[in-house]
Amino acid sequence: MVVISLLTLTRNNWLPITVIILFTITALSLWPLENLPSVPGSDKTHHLIAYAALMFPAALQKPENWLLIALSFIAYGGAIELLQPSVNRYGEWLDFAANTVGVICGIALGKLMSKFQ
Indicate the DSSP class of residue 85: G
pTM of the predicted structure, to 2 decimals: 0.92
CA 106/CA 19 separation, integer angstroms: 15
Contact between residue 49 and residue 95 where contact means Cβ atoms under 8 Å apart:
no
| Residue pLDDT, tens place only, 78-115 | 999 999 999 988 889 999 999 999 999 999 999 999 88
Domain boundaries, the chain: 2-29+42-114
| Residue pLDDT, tens place only, 34-79 | 776 677 778 899 999 999 999 999 999 999 999 999 999 999 999 9
CA 17/CA 11 separation, integer angstroms: 9
CA 30/CA 113 separation, integer angstroms: 31
CA 84/CA 82 separation, integer angstroms: 6
Question: Within 10 A of 16 (CB to CB), how many other CB atoms are there?
Answer: 10
